[in-house]
Structure 1
Amino acid sequence: MNNNFKMVAKTLFGFEEILGKELRNLGAGHVVEGVRNVSFEGDTGFMYKANLCLRTAIKVLKPIHSFSVRNENELYRKIYTMDWGDYLSVDTTFAIDTTVNSDHFTHSLYVSQKAKDAIVDKFRDTEGKRPSVDVKHPDVRLNIHIHKQQCTISLDSSGRSLHQRGYRMATNIAPINEVLAAGLLLLSGWDGQCDFLDPMCGSGTLLTEAAMIACNIPVNINRKEFAFEKWEDFDATLFEKIVNASLNKTREFHHKIIGYDKAPSAVRKAIANAESANLSEYITIERKNFFETAKPTDTHLHIVFNPPYGERLDRRGLDSGFDVEAFYSDIGDTLKQEYPGTEAWFITSNLEALKYVGLRPSRKIKVFNSHLESRLVKYVMYEGSKKAKNNLVQE
């Protein structure tokens, strides 16, 4: 326990609670949910495991120093006085990512530049040489976070954002982020205990993430590298042990994961991505128009999908003839008439369009798809005519 240290996992707005649950399930200590982040404690092995297994984390940061700061000169001086030899050498390349929420500092790039100057000046003064900056593929990536007058400097143990799982070979226009997809699935209660359908699957991200949850596969197992693998204290044997232990916890999946899309190119990409993730045996993808389908199974069905938002397509000039009202009305009609015994969830930023579904959602959860404020909505379709009237919006 004495080897434990504090870490911070960054996430998307609205996913703090499910990320906290993920961390507790993995065995983290002192889990505290913040805004777009969750702090926790663990040892080096747990840091490896967090990067490998967390589905809703974007980054895993290891804070190394914190101090109050009110101006750029103070920032420079306090960063200069740190003992950077513990983390860098003159032969180490590094990069700095900065986020600021402060009246004293308003430009993150300027803070990054000032911090870089302090670090290289310190090495030049003490070693006679300075480390180089490499923004694309550094040996060490630093994270600076300034909130009001508090500055926290962390080592970024992840490197590239953890949504870059390593399995997605091909994408469609405006593909859903992998962390967002996993978070939506977990928010919907998907646990792999029934059949699953994404009726507008695009390049198949929801399908792949659903299969990984169902089989309890470490979500970043296909990723080529993590930033911590370049650290001087990286323990390759320990990391291999963590990977093997995580893979030993996978489980069999005895239901169906099905994807539809009416575009042949989307179907090809979804199939390629499922193959890249080594999940083809669990995922079936077909070229179908959802509005011309019926429920493919006799048992309970869990649906999660990401339909076109309308305004997102129109702004890009991709489909100027897109009829939002008719499209969302068809979603409601298809669910009512053809999908009894179904729990259907979908995300949309077009809140006005929800009125045309013709069903009353039993839940609405505020989330963000990139910069778009959105809602994850739930509709329960009962078997037969039972409670059917309760699904209909009362005029």
Structure 2
Amino acid sequence: MEEFELIAKTFQGLEEVLAQELTELGANDIQIGRRMVSFSGNKEMLYRANFCLRTAIRVLKPIKHFKALDAEAVYEAVKSIEWANYLDLNTTFAVDSVVYSQEFRNSKFVAYKVKDAIVDYFREKEGKRPNISVTNPDIKLNMHIAEDQCTLSLDASGESLHLRGYRVASCDAPINEVLAAGLIKLSGWDMESDLIDPFCGSGTIAIEAALMARNIYPGIFRKSFGFEKWKDFDRDLLDRIYNDDSAEREFNHKIYAYDINRPTIEGAMANAKQAGVSDVVEFSQQDFRKFTQPENKAIIVTNPPYGERLQPADILGLYKAIGERLKHEFKGNEAWIISSKQELFDSIGLRPSTKIQLYNGSLDCEFRKYQMFDGKIEKFRAAGGEIKTSEDRQRNAERRKGRQFREDFHRRFDDDSREQTEEDREFIQLRNKHREFERVYGRKHRGEDGETDRPRRNFGDRKGGKFGDRNNFGERKGGKFGDRGNFGDRKGGRFNDRNEQGDRPRGKGGKSFGGRKNFDRHSNGDR
């Protein structure tokens, strides 16, 4: 198969772990950038990247690289693309844009120019224009501009890859699934010990850890990917990837997840059940102030409240208790904590061995490692113990470089004192034109109940092919997950002895996952 360039997007600070994932997946020409990793591969690699990567937000396939110093240059370059290879008049599309440039200061303005170029291409070729859909487009395009360097790409993922498909219950301030997976990978957990999350919330860190431990790929829960609506979509290839469970494995340790709130724990248990890992994760309602030394070797990876969206009554007291419990009840183990405020880390009262700069949403955070030991540090070192590994020292050096880069970046692009430019005025005119078209087009194609006349895919019940026969929240018949009922009961297939809670009797039969049937997928809606 032909190889081509691909780009995987991620959060700042997760680029290296994403590059490692791509290396393990067999990608070629891997290059780390800012919040992205470029690589090359064929169509199978494109599908596998979307299906397997845990720390990617989305996967893009570049169509064209070009230089542009103004909006008209962008318009002409985009219009010169042979769009009939990607779209037709019945294909709806939308454009997302990301801009880091002194020349182009408004990302929506860039998106409008790209849309206009595509529409004008079809007007000249066909005498008609294709349809634009902001909410549920068939094809998503991504325009990225860094100074005068432009890249226009097809979005192969569709919805963000952090939307795994197993979350059926949530809580206040849940952590993003991609970030949770990134934290686990950054911690270096080798799955040869227990993992503990004492502030589990909706269970995301624990569930992502369980999926890693079992080597269950996150794409198994997805109902669709963006590339499934491309003209060259290979259904048989995707089915083969989906039905291959040969890499999955048993996990001989345990994952523990605690939270002080009972309804939150119940929601986390529902999510774990939906993900098919409720036999791996042990949930309990527990105050971390009562945490005691675990019997077996363990690692803590956790995301306690920051006092931003969740505001405990005494948050400084909570962080002081975290430090006290770690010092006295977690000896001989490592703890990794992500938080956003220096005063919170100060309240822990322990010296971290490494600090990794990350973002949790819009919050500038640090992910800190605490190496816990018994006695004095001199004695610990004399016995061969290491507080800072060579990897920790390298991370700390990179962190200092990253801080300087961010300061330079904000100085260049966050200047709001400038006067309105000609580009700003042109953007306002373009925005009004596009809003008027979307208003008229939307009214023309809506029924009295406000729903569009176009057939919509029923995501609750896709039969055959990649996703078998799915009912509410992921029922799949005949495939890896056998006959899955509401919220993840698995019968047959790999988890073939589950009771009503989705649990599997343990200690019997070893690894007997069973085979998967190939699915006979038929069309749904307009497919």
TM-score bin, normalised by smaller chain: over 0.9
Aligned to 1:250: 248
Match of 1:341 among 332, 335, 339: 332
Secondary structure of 2:342's counterpart equals: coil
* In 1: Cα distance, 2:150 partner to 2:280 partner: 46
Could you say if the C-alpha distance between residues 159 and 142 of structure 1 is closer, same or farther in structure 2, counting changes exceeding 3 Å? same
Aligned to 2:511: none
AA aligned to 2:253 is H
Residues 244-393 of structure 1: pairs in structure 2 closer than 5 A: 244-245=243-244, 247-296=245-294, 298-310=295-307, 312-313=308-309, 319=311, 322-382=313-373, 384-385=374-375, 387=377
Shift of 1:293: 2.2
* In 2: Cα distance, 1:190 partner to 1:134 partner: 43
1:205-245 CA-to-partner distances (Å, cap 9, x unmatched) read 00000001111111221011110011111111111112233
* In 2: Cα distance, 1:121 partner to 1:244 partner: 42
Q: Is the 8 A contact 1:191 1:213 kept in 2?
A: no
AA aligned to 2:266 is R
Q: Is the 8 A contact 1:190 1:210 kept in 2?
A: no
Identity across aligned pairs (percent)? 48
Shift of 1:350: 1.2
AA aligned to 1:67 is F
Aligned to 1:216: 215
1:154-191 CA-to-partner distances (Å, cap 9, x unmatched) read 00000111111111111111110111100010000123
Give aligned pairs, total: 381
Aligned to 1:157: 156
Shift of 1:80: 1.4
TM-score by length of 1: 0.93
Residues 104-115 of structure 1: pairs in structure 2 closer than 5 A: 104-115=103-114
AA aligned to 1:107 is N
Shift of 1:389: 8.2
Select between 30-39 and 108-117 the one with higher mean Cα deviation. 108-117
* In 2: Cα distance, 1:372 partner to 1:91 partner: 41
Unaligned runs of 5+ in 2: 382-527
AA aligned to 2:313 is F
* In 2: Cα distance, 1:364 partner to 1:86 partner: 47
* In 2: Cα distance, 1:61 partner to 1:224 partner: 19
Q: Is the 8 A contact 1:195 1:255 kept in 2?
A: yes
Residues 70-219 of structure 1: pairs in structure 2 closer than 5 A: 70-219=69-218
Secondary structure of 1:174's counterpart equals: coil
Secondary structure of 1:162's counterpart equals: coil
Shift of 1:79: 1.3
Secondary structure of 2:47's counterpart equals: helix
Could you say if the C-alpha distance between residues 328 and 388 of structure 1 is closer, same or farther in structure 2, counting changes exceeding 3 Å? farther
Larger radius of gyration: 2
1:15-64 CA-to-partner distances (Å, cap 9, x unmatched) read 11111111001000000001100000000001000001111111100001
Q: Is the 8 A contact 1:351 1:375 kept in 2?
A: no
TM-score by length of 2: 0.70
Residues 219-238 of structure 1: pairs in structure 2 closer than 5 A: 219-238=218-237
* In 2: Cα distance, 1:139 partner to 1:39 partner: 24
Shift of 1:387: 4.2
Shift of 1:385: 3.6
Could you say if the C-alpha distance between residues 304 and 389 of structure 1 is closer, same or farther in structure 2, counting changes exceeding 3 Å? farther
Shift of 1:197: 0.7
Aligned to 2:66: 67
* In 1: Cα distance, 2:355 partner to 2:138 partner: 43
* In 2: Cα distance, 1:379 partner to 1:103 partner: 41
Could you say if the C-alpha distance between residues 309 and 47 of structure 1 is closer, same or farther in structure 2, counting changes exceeding 3 Å? same
C-alpha root-mean-square deviation of aligned residues, in Å? 1.6
Greater relative contact order structure (CA < 8 Å, 6+ sep): 1
1:138-169 CA-to-partner distances (Å, cap 9, x unmatched) read 11111111111111110000011111111111
Secondary structure of 1:99's counterpart equals: strand
AA aligned to 2:337 is F
Shift of 1:71: 1.3
Shift of 1:386: 6.4
AA aligned to 2:306 is Y
Q: Is the 8 A contact 1:100 1:108 kept in 2?
A: yes
* In 2: Cα distance, 1:243 partner to 1:341 partner: 41
Unaligned runs of 5+ in 1: none
Q: Is the 8 A contact 1:299 1:341 kept in 2?
A: no
Shift of 1:390: 7.1
Select between 205-214 and 76-85 the one with higher mean Cα deviation. 76-85
AA aligned to 2:7 is V
AA aligned to 2:108 is L
Secondary structure of 1:65's counterpart equals: strand
